[in-house]
Amino acid sequence: MRASSTARDAKDYETFLNWLKVHSPFSYGDHDALVCVASGVVAGKCVNADQAFDIGVKAASVMTGETYADVKFKRKDRVTSISSDKNQVPVRGVEVEVNRTVLFMRVTCVIRESSEMKEYLLHEFAEQPPSLFDKGIMRKNTKSVLASVLKSKVNVHLELPDNACFVLDGGHLQSLPWPADPTYNQVCDQYVSHVLVHYGPGSIVVFDGYGSASSTKTAEQQRRAKQNTSPDIVFELEMKTTTSKKAFLGNGRNKDRLIQKLKEKYEAVGIIVKQSVADADWLIASSAMITSTAIDGAPTQNSSAVVVGTDTDLLVMMVAQATPKHESSYALWTEPFACVLYT
Protein backbone atom coordinates (compact mmCIF):
# COMPACT_ATOMS: atom_id res chain seq x y z
CA MET A 1 0.00 0.00 0.00
CA ARG A 2 3.00 2.30 -0.17
CA ALA A 3 2.73 5.34 -2.43
CA SER A 4 5.71 4.21 -4.54
CA SER A 5 4.16 0.78 -5.15
CA THR A 6 0.80 2.31 -5.99
CA ALA A 7 2.40 4.72 -8.46
CA ARG A 8 4.36 1.91 -10.11
CA ASP A 9 1.22 -0.25 -10.38
CA ALA A 10 -0.69 2.65 -11.93
CA LYS A 11 2.11 3.23 -14.46
CA ASP A 12 2.24 -0.48 -15.38
CA TYR A 13 -1.54 -0.56 -15.71
CA GLU A 14 -1.47 2.46 -18.04
CA THR A 15 1.30 0.90 -20.14
CA PHE A 16 -0.59 -2.38 -20.49
CA LEU A 17 -3.84 -0.59 -21.27
CA ASN A 18 -2.20 1.45 -24.03
CA TRP A 19 -0.63 -1.71 -25.44
CA LEU A 20 -4.04 -3.41 -25.56
CA LYS A 21 -5.57 -0.40 -27.33
CA VAL A 22 -3.09 -0.90 -30.16
CA HIS A 23 -2.97 -4.72 -30.06
CA SER A 24 -6.65 -5.37 -29.49
CA PRO A 25 -7.47 -9.11 -29.68
CA PHE A 26 -10.97 -8.18 -30.88
CA SER A 27 -9.62 -6.67 -34.12
CA TYR A 28 -9.01 -10.15 -35.54
CA GLY A 29 -12.61 -11.29 -35.47
CA ASP A 30 -12.60 -11.95 -39.23
CA HIS A 31 -9.93 -14.68 -38.89
CA ASP A 32 -10.96 -18.28 -38.26
CA ALA A 33 -7.39 -19.32 -37.44
CA LEU A 34 -5.18 -18.42 -34.48
CA VAL A 35 -3.51 -15.02 -34.50
CA CYS A 36 -0.51 -13.94 -32.43
CA VAL A 37 -1.74 -10.68 -30.92
CA ALA A 38 1.76 -9.27 -30.36
CA SER A 39 3.17 -9.90 -33.84
CA GLY A 40 0.01 -10.16 -35.96
CA VAL A 41 1.14 -13.49 -37.45
CA VAL A 42 -1.84 -15.54 -38.63
CA ALA A 43 -1.50 -19.29 -38.09
CA GLY A 44 -2.15 -21.80 -40.86
CA LYS A 45 -5.12 -24.12 -40.85
CA CYS A 46 -3.05 -27.04 -39.59
CA VAL A 47 -2.02 -25.22 -36.39
CA ASN A 48 -3.89 -26.66 -33.41
CA ALA A 49 -1.87 -25.43 -30.43
CA ASP A 50 -5.06 -24.08 -28.84
CA GLN A 51 -6.35 -27.65 -28.60
CA ALA A 52 -3.22 -29.03 -26.91
CA PHE A 53 -5.06 -30.13 -23.74
CA ASP A 54 -7.77 -32.03 -25.63
CA ILE A 55 -5.16 -33.68 -27.87
CA GLY A 56 -3.19 -34.74 -24.79
CA VAL A 57 -6.27 -36.21 -23.10
CA LYS A 58 -7.08 -38.14 -26.29
CA ALA A 59 -3.53 -39.49 -26.48
CA ALA A 60 -3.66 -40.57 -22.81
CA SER A 61 -6.97 -42.38 -23.33
CA VAL A 62 -5.47 -44.40 -26.19
CA MET A 63 -2.70 -45.60 -23.86
CA THR A 64 -5.07 -46.71 -21.11
CA GLY A 65 -5.01 -50.49 -20.66
CA GLU A 66 -2.36 -51.02 -23.35
CA THR A 67 1.20 -52.24 -23.01
CA TYR A 68 3.89 -49.75 -23.91
CA ALA A 69 5.08 -51.78 -26.91
CA ASP A 70 1.58 -51.78 -28.44
CA VAL A 71 0.95 -48.03 -28.12
CA LYS A 72 0.96 -46.21 -31.48
CA PHE A 73 0.36 -42.55 -32.24
CA LYS A 74 -0.58 -40.97 -35.55
CA ARG A 75 1.28 -37.97 -36.93
CA LYS A 76 -1.95 -36.10 -37.59
CA ASP A 77 -2.79 -36.19 -33.87
CA ARG A 78 0.26 -34.16 -32.84
CA VAL A 79 0.12 -30.57 -31.60
CA THR A 80 1.31 -28.17 -34.31
CA SER A 81 2.57 -24.69 -33.43
CA ILE A 82 2.96 -21.64 -35.65
CA SER A 83 6.73 -22.13 -35.85
CA SER A 84 6.45 -25.78 -36.93
CA ASP A 85 3.89 -24.79 -39.55
CA LYS A 86 6.62 -22.86 -41.40
CA ASN A 87 8.67 -26.06 -41.92
CA GLN A 88 5.95 -28.00 -43.71
CA VAL A 89 6.16 -29.10 -47.32
CA PRO A 90 3.54 -30.92 -49.44
CA VAL A 91 4.41 -34.58 -50.07
CA ARG A 92 1.92 -36.43 -52.29
CA GLY A 93 -0.81 -33.99 -51.33
CA VAL A 94 -0.14 -34.19 -47.57
CA GLU A 95 1.49 -31.41 -45.51
CA VAL A 96 4.51 -32.96 -43.77
CA GLU A 97 6.76 -31.22 -41.26
CA VAL A 98 10.36 -31.53 -42.40
CA ASN A 99 13.53 -30.73 -40.50
CA ARG A 100 15.97 -30.33 -43.38
CA THR A 101 19.05 -30.67 -41.18
CA VAL A 102 17.90 -33.99 -39.71
CA LEU A 103 16.86 -35.18 -43.15
CA PHE A 104 20.31 -34.42 -44.56
CA MET A 105 22.02 -36.22 -41.66
CA ARG A 106 19.87 -39.31 -42.21
CA VAL A 107 20.63 -39.34 -45.92
CA THR A 108 24.38 -39.13 -45.28
CA CYS A 109 24.14 -41.99 -42.77
CA VAL A 110 22.75 -44.45 -45.33
CA ILE A 111 25.31 -43.56 -48.01
CA ARG A 112 27.91 -46.31 -48.15
CA GLU A 113 30.25 -44.78 -50.73
CA SER A 114 30.93 -41.23 -51.82
CA SER A 115 29.89 -42.18 -55.35
CA GLU A 116 26.30 -42.60 -54.09
CA MET A 117 26.13 -38.99 -52.88
CA LYS A 118 24.91 -37.65 -56.24
CA GLU A 119 22.09 -40.19 -56.45
CA TYR A 120 20.83 -39.63 -52.90
CA LEU A 121 20.96 -35.85 -53.16
CA LEU A 122 19.36 -35.73 -56.59
CA HIS A 123 16.01 -34.55 -55.17
CA GLU A 124 15.18 -31.90 -52.61
CA PHE A 125 12.14 -30.71 -50.67
CA ALA A 126 11.60 -27.37 -52.37
CA GLU A 127 8.45 -25.94 -53.94
CA GLN A 128 10.48 -23.36 -55.90
CA PRO A 129 14.07 -23.39 -57.22
CA PRO A 130 16.31 -22.37 -54.28
CA SER A 131 18.53 -20.46 -56.73
CA LEU A 132 15.64 -18.04 -57.35
CA PHE A 133 13.57 -18.26 -54.15
CA ASP A 134 14.33 -18.17 -50.44
CA LYS A 135 11.57 -19.36 -48.09
CA GLY A 136 8.93 -18.76 -50.74
CA ILE A 137 10.08 -15.24 -51.62
CA MET A 138 12.10 -14.30 -54.71
CA ARG A 139 15.72 -13.60 -53.88
CA LYS A 140 17.00 -10.04 -53.99
CA ASN A 141 19.12 -9.25 -57.03
CA THR A 142 22.38 -7.31 -57.03
CA LYS A 143 21.35 -4.15 -58.86
CA SER A 144 24.19 -2.26 -57.21
CA VAL A 145 26.58 -3.70 -59.81
CA LEU A 146 24.61 -1.99 -62.59
CA ALA A 147 24.51 1.23 -60.58
CA SER A 148 28.30 1.22 -60.23
CA VAL A 149 28.71 0.89 -63.99
CA LEU A 150 26.28 3.74 -64.70
CA LYS A 151 27.86 6.01 -62.10
CA SER A 152 31.25 5.53 -63.70
CA LYS A 153 29.85 7.01 -66.93
CA VAL A 154 28.40 10.14 -65.30
CA ASN A 155 30.15 13.42 -64.63
CA VAL A 156 30.07 14.32 -60.95
CA HIS A 157 28.81 17.76 -59.93
CA LEU A 158 29.02 18.93 -56.33
CA GLU A 159 26.69 21.91 -56.78
CA LEU A 160 22.95 21.82 -57.33
CA PRO A 161 21.25 24.02 -59.93
CA ASP A 162 19.52 27.17 -58.71
CA ASN A 163 15.73 27.17 -58.28
CA ALA A 164 15.55 23.40 -58.67
CA CYS A 165 12.43 21.46 -57.72
CA PHE A 166 13.12 18.38 -55.58
CA VAL A 167 11.39 15.07 -56.29
CA LEU A 168 11.88 12.77 -53.31
CA ASP A 169 11.48 9.02 -52.97
CA GLY A 170 9.18 8.56 -49.96
CA GLY A 171 10.79 5.21 -49.16
CA HIS A 172 14.17 6.90 -48.83
CA LEU A 173 12.69 9.47 -46.42
CA GLN A 174 11.46 6.71 -44.15
CA SER A 175 15.06 5.81 -43.38
CA LEU A 176 15.06 8.78 -40.99
CA PRO A 177 15.36 7.69 -37.33
CA TRP A 178 12.33 8.13 -35.09
CA PRO A 179 12.51 10.20 -31.89
CA ALA A 180 12.79 8.35 -28.60
CA ASP A 181 9.43 7.08 -27.29
CA PRO A 182 7.45 9.28 -29.71
CA THR A 183 3.80 9.77 -30.54
CA TYR A 184 2.75 9.24 -34.14
CA ASN A 185 2.29 12.99 -34.42
CA GLN A 186 5.95 13.54 -33.49
CA VAL A 187 7.01 10.97 -36.08
CA CYS A 188 5.02 12.78 -38.81
CA ASP A 189 6.33 16.19 -37.72
CA GLN A 190 9.91 14.96 -38.02
CA TYR A 191 9.33 13.85 -41.63
CA VAL A 192 7.69 17.17 -42.49
CA SER A 193 10.43 19.19 -40.80
CA HIS A 194 13.15 17.28 -42.67
CA VAL A 195 11.62 18.02 -46.09
CA LEU A 196 10.97 21.68 -45.30
CA VAL A 197 14.48 22.32 -43.97
CA HIS A 198 16.41 20.51 -46.72
CA TYR A 199 14.17 20.91 -49.78
CA GLY A 200 11.58 23.60 -49.02
CA PRO A 201 7.90 24.08 -49.99
CA GLY A 202 6.97 23.06 -53.52
CA SER A 203 8.93 19.82 -53.30
CA ILE A 204 7.29 16.63 -54.53
CA VAL A 205 7.25 13.49 -52.35
CA VAL A 206 6.29 10.23 -54.08
CA PHE A 207 5.34 7.11 -52.08
CA ASP A 208 4.90 3.46 -53.02
CA GLY A 209 1.39 2.02 -53.06
CA TYR A 210 0.34 -0.90 -50.86
CA GLY A 211 -3.10 -1.80 -52.20
CA SER A 212 -2.00 -3.97 -55.13
CA ALA A 213 -2.05 -7.72 -54.50
CA SER A 214 0.44 -8.44 -57.28
CA SER A 215 3.01 -5.98 -58.60
CA THR A 216 6.73 -5.54 -59.16
CA LYS A 217 6.99 -4.37 -55.54
CA THR A 218 5.19 -7.37 -54.00
CA ALA A 219 8.29 -9.55 -53.53
CA GLU A 220 10.24 -6.76 -51.82
CA GLN A 221 7.31 -5.93 -49.51
CA GLN A 222 6.94 -9.60 -48.57
CA ARG A 223 10.67 -9.83 -47.87
CA ARG A 224 10.51 -6.86 -45.49
CA ALA A 225 7.43 -8.29 -43.77
CA LYS A 226 9.27 -11.58 -43.20
CA GLN A 227 12.13 -9.78 -41.47
CA ASN A 228 9.92 -7.67 -39.19
CA THR A 229 6.32 -8.54 -38.39
CA SER A 230 3.85 -6.21 -36.74
CA PRO A 231 0.10 -6.36 -36.18
CA ASP A 232 -2.24 -3.99 -37.95
CA ILE A 233 -2.24 -0.82 -35.87
CA VAL A 234 -5.15 1.58 -36.21
CA PHE A 235 -3.62 4.65 -34.61
CA GLU A 236 -4.39 8.28 -33.96
CA LEU A 237 -1.71 10.96 -34.05
CA GLU A 238 -1.88 11.52 -30.28
CA MET A 239 -1.16 7.84 -29.52
CA LYS A 240 2.32 6.73 -28.49
CA THR A 241 4.15 4.20 -30.64
CA THR A 242 4.26 0.74 -29.08
CA THR A 243 6.42 -1.05 -31.65
CA SER A 244 9.82 -0.38 -33.15
CA LYS A 245 10.06 1.62 -36.34
CA LYS A 246 11.37 -1.41 -38.24
CA ALA A 247 8.47 -3.63 -37.15
CA PHE A 248 5.84 -0.94 -37.76
CA LEU A 249 7.03 -0.21 -41.31
CA GLY A 250 7.31 -3.93 -42.05
CA ASN A 251 3.51 -4.08 -42.21
CA GLY A 252 2.30 -2.56 -45.48
CA ARG A 253 -1.10 -1.58 -44.08
CA ASN A 254 0.55 0.29 -41.21
CA LYS A 255 2.84 2.09 -43.63
CA ASP A 256 -0.10 3.05 -45.85
CA ARG A 257 -1.94 4.56 -42.85
CA LEU A 258 1.18 6.55 -41.95
CA ILE A 259 1.44 7.83 -45.54
CA GLN A 260 -2.15 9.11 -45.40
CA LYS A 261 -1.36 11.05 -42.20
CA LEU A 262 1.84 12.39 -43.74
CA LYS A 263 -0.02 13.46 -46.88
CA GLU A 264 -2.30 15.73 -44.86
CA LYS A 265 0.62 17.32 -43.05
CA TYR A 266 2.78 17.73 -46.17
CA GLU A 267 0.01 19.36 -48.19
CA ALA A 268 -0.74 21.74 -45.31
CA VAL A 269 2.76 23.25 -45.68
CA GLY A 270 2.82 23.36 -49.49
CA ILE A 271 4.56 20.06 -50.24
CA ILE A 272 3.07 18.03 -53.10
CA VAL A 273 2.41 14.35 -52.33
CA LYS A 274 1.87 11.56 -54.85
CA GLN A 275 1.29 7.87 -54.25
CA SER A 276 1.71 5.20 -56.89
CA VAL A 277 -0.52 2.15 -57.22
CA ALA A 278 2.50 -0.07 -56.53
CA ASP A 279 6.20 0.70 -57.14
CA ALA A 280 6.81 4.46 -57.20
CA ASP A 281 10.08 4.44 -59.18
CA TRP A 282 8.50 5.16 -62.57
CA LEU A 283 6.27 7.88 -61.12
CA ILE A 284 9.32 9.53 -59.52
CA ALA A 285 11.36 9.44 -62.72
CA SER A 286 8.52 10.67 -64.93
CA SER A 287 7.64 13.44 -62.45
CA ALA A 288 11.21 14.70 -62.61
CA MET A 289 11.12 14.83 -66.40
CA ILE A 290 7.86 16.77 -66.48
CA THR A 291 8.60 19.14 -63.58
CA SER A 292 10.76 21.45 -65.69
CA THR A 293 7.57 22.68 -67.42
CA ALA A 294 4.80 22.16 -64.85
CA ILE A 295 3.40 19.31 -62.81
CA ASP A 296 0.41 19.40 -60.54
CA GLY A 297 1.05 22.93 -59.29
CA ALA A 298 4.86 22.69 -59.10
CA PRO A 299 6.58 26.06 -59.69
CA THR A 300 6.89 26.64 -63.45
CA GLN A 301 10.01 28.82 -63.09
CA ASN A 302 12.04 25.74 -62.18
CA SER A 303 14.14 24.60 -65.13
CA SER A 304 15.69 21.66 -63.25
CA ALA A 305 14.45 18.76 -61.17
CA VAL A 306 16.54 16.99 -58.53
CA VAL A 307 15.65 13.38 -57.76
CA VAL A 308 16.57 12.25 -54.24
CA GLY A 309 16.70 8.53 -53.53
CA THR A 310 18.92 5.48 -53.09
CA ASP A 311 17.18 3.03 -55.43
CA THR A 312 19.23 1.84 -58.40
CA ASP A 313 16.04 1.65 -60.48
CA LEU A 314 15.74 5.45 -60.27
CA LEU A 315 19.21 5.86 -61.73
CA VAL A 316 18.45 3.39 -64.53
CA MET A 317 15.11 5.01 -65.40
CA MET A 318 16.51 8.54 -65.40
CA VAL A 319 19.35 7.56 -67.72
CA ALA A 320 16.96 5.62 -69.97
CA GLN A 321 14.74 8.71 -70.35
CA ALA A 322 17.63 10.97 -71.28
CA THR A 323 17.35 12.49 -74.77
CA PRO A 324 20.07 14.22 -76.82
CA LYS A 325 18.69 17.48 -75.41
CA HIS A 326 19.16 16.34 -71.82
CA GLU A 327 22.16 14.03 -71.98
CA SER A 328 24.70 16.80 -71.49
CA SER A 329 22.87 18.12 -68.43
CA TYR A 330 22.50 14.79 -66.62
CA ALA A 331 24.78 14.61 -63.60
CA LEU A 332 25.22 12.67 -60.39
CA TRP A 333 25.43 14.48 -57.08
CA THR A 334 27.01 12.17 -54.54
CA GLU A 335 26.84 14.09 -51.25
CA PRO A 336 25.09 13.64 -48.90
CA PHE A 337 22.87 11.16 -50.75
CA ALA A 338 23.72 7.91 -52.49
CA CYS A 339 21.83 8.70 -55.68
CA VAL A 340 20.69 12.17 -56.71
CA LEU A 341 20.11 13.22 -60.32
CA TYR A 342 19.09 16.49 -61.83
CA THR A 343 17.99 17.40 -65.35
| pLDDT tens digits along 3-62 | 999 999 999 999 999 888 877 788 776 667 777 777 667 777 778 888 899 988 988 888
Domain's final residue, options 86, 110, 134: 86
The answer to which of 98-112, 119-133, 213-227 has the lowest mean pLDDT is 213-227
Are residues 187 and 335 located together in one domain of the fold? yes
Average pLDDT over residues 267-271: 92
- Interval 149-162: pLDDT, tens: 777 776 666 566 67
Q: How many CB atoms lie within 10 A of CB 273?
A: 19
State how many domains the chain has. 2
Are residues 162 and 292 located together in one domain of the fold? yes
Residue 125 belongs to a domain: no
Are residues 65 and 166 located together in one domain of the fold? no
Q: Is the pLDDT of residue 190 over 90?
A: yes
Are residues 253 and 335 located together in one domain of the fold? yes
Q: Which residue has the higher pLDDT, 337 or 248?
A: 248
The answer to which of 45-54, 110-119, 218-227, 278-287 has the lowest mean pLDDT is 218-227
Q: Note the pLDDT of residue 60.
A: 86
Domain's final residue, options 46, 63, 86: 86
Residue 280 belongs to a domain: yes
Helix, strand and coil in the chain, % to nearest 5: 45, 10, 45
Q: Note the pLDDT of residue 334.
A: 35
Amino acid of residue 144: S
Are residues 82 and 162 located together in one domain of the fold? no
Are residues 315 and 238 located together in one domain of the fold? yes
Q: Note the pLDDT of residue 295.
A: 39
Residue 180 belongs to a domain: yes
The overall pTM is greater than 0.75: no
Is-contact 195 203, C-beta < 8 A? yes
Q: Is the pLDDT of residue 121 over 70?
A: yes
Share of the chain above pLDDT 70, in %: 73
**What is the C-alpha separation between 129 and 234, in angstroms, rounded?**
38
Domain holding 1, by residue range, is 1-86
Q: Note the pLDDT of residue 142.
A: 77
Residue 215 belongs to a domain: yes
Q: Note the pLDDT of residue 7.
A: 94
Q: Note the pLDDT of residue 129.
A: 77
- The CA distances from residue 116 to 119, 134, 229, in Å, are 5, 27, 42
